[in-house]
A and B are shown apart, each in its own frame.
Chain A
Amino acid sequence: MVQPMCLFFLISTLSCLRRVRDLCRVLQLPSTFEDTAVAYYQKAYQHPGIRAARVQKKEVLVGCCVLITCRQHNWPLTMGTICTLLYADLDMFSGTYMQIVKLLGLDVPSLCLADLVKTYCSSIRRKLAASKLECSQGARTACPSLADCSSPWALRHDPHFDYFSFKLFQASPSMPAKFMEDKEKMLSRTLQLVELADETWLVTGRHPLPVITAAAFLAWQSLQPSARLTCSLARFCKLANVDLPYPASSRLQELLAVLLRMAEQLAWLQVLKLDKRSVVKHISDLLQHRHTLIRKAFREGPSGVEAPAEELWGRGQGQEEVGNGSSDLPKGKRPASPALLLPPCMLKPPKRVCPTPPASTVTGDEDISDSEIEQYLRTPQEVRDFQRAQAAKRAATSSPNPP
Chain B
Amino acid sequence: MDQNNSLPPYAQGLASPQGAMTPGIPIFSPMMPYGTGLTPQPIQNTNSLSILEEQQRQQQQQQQQQQQQQQQAAAVTTVTAAVQQSTSQQAPQGASGQTPQLFHSQTLTTTAPLPGTTPLYPSPMTPMTPITPATPASESSGIVPQLQNIVSTVNLGCKLDLKTIALRARNAEYNPKRFAAVIMRIREPRTTALIFSSGKMVCTGAKSEEQSRLAARKYARVVQKLGFPAKFLDFKIQNMVGSCDVKFPIRLEGLVLTHQQFSSYEPELFPGLIYRMIKPRIVLLIFVSGKVVLTGAKVRAEIYEAFENIYPILKGFRKTT
Residues on A close to B: CB < 8 A? 27-30, 36, 40, 68-70, 72-84, 87-90, 94, 97-98, 101-102, 104-107, 109-111, 115-116, 118-120, 122, 124, 127-128, 156, 158, 160-161, 163-164, 199, 201, 204-210, 213, 243-248, 300-305, 307, 309, 312, 341-343, 345-346, 356-357, 360, 362-370, 372-378, 382-383, 386-387
Contacts and interface: CB of A to CB of B under 8 A. Distances in A.
Contacts of B209: 364
B7 A80 contact: yes
B271 interface: yes
Contacts of B245: 309
A156 B132 CA distance: 60
B91 interface: no
Contacts of A343: 249, 288-289
A89 B28 CA distance: 30
14 contacts: A109-B28, A109-B260, A119-B16, A199-B321, A208-B268, A243-B12, A300-B320, A304-B248, A346-B249, A357-B146, A369-B111, A370-B112, A373-B225, A383-B167
A368 to B, nearest CB: 5
B15 A27 contact: yes
B4 A87 contact: yes
B14 A120 contact: yes
B11 A118 contact: no
Given A246-B10, A248-B10, A342-B249, A365 B124 contact: yes
B207 interface: yes
A357 B257 CA distance: 36
Interface residues of B, number: 95
Contacts of A369: 111
Given A84-B3, A105-B32, A207-B267, A360 B167 contact: no
B12 A208 contact: no
Interface of B: 1, 3-4, 6-18, 20-21, 23, 26, 28-36, 106, 109-112, 124, 127-129, 141-143, 146, 167-171, 184, 186, 189, 207-214, 217-218, 221-222, 225-226, 245-253, 256-257, 260-261, 264-272, 287-290, 315, 318-321
Contacts of B214: 362-366, 368
B320 A367 contact: no
Please provide the 9 A-B residue pairs with the shortest distance between their CB atoms, ordered closest to farther.
A245-B10, A78-B13, A80-B13, A81-B13, A158-B1, A364-B213, A80-B11, A364-B210, A243-B9
Given A87-B4, A207-B267, A357-B207, A304 B246 contact: yes
Contact of A73 (B9, B23, B33, B290): B23
B16 A29 contact: yes
Instruction: Please classify the interface of chain B as helix (H, G, I), strand (E, B), loop, or mixed, using the class held by over half of its residues.
Output: loop
Most-contacted residue by chain B among A107, A213, A343 (CB, 10 A): A107
Contact of A75 (B16, B141, B222, B321): B16
Nearest to B263: A110
A213 B9 CA distance: 13
A89 B169 contact: no
A193 to B, nearest CB: 16
Pick from B9, B36, B265 the residue with the most CB of A within 10 Å.
Answer: B9
Contact of B26 (A73, A116, A341): A73
A245 B15 contact: no
A378 B169 contact: yes
Given A90-B6, A109-B28, 5 more contacts: A98-B269, A128-B15, A199-B321, A205-B272, A366-B214
B248 A302 contact: yes
Contact of A368 (B13, B218, B288, B289): B218
Given A156-B1, A360-B210, A77 B16 contact: yes
Contacts of A104: 31
A107 B32 contact: yes
B251 A122 contact: no
Contact of A376 (B170, B207, B253): B170
A368 B32 contact: no
Nearest to A295: B320
Given A27-B15, A75-B23, A205 B10 contact: no
A380 to B, nearest CB: 9
Contacts of A75: 16-17, 21, 23
Nearest to B132: A359
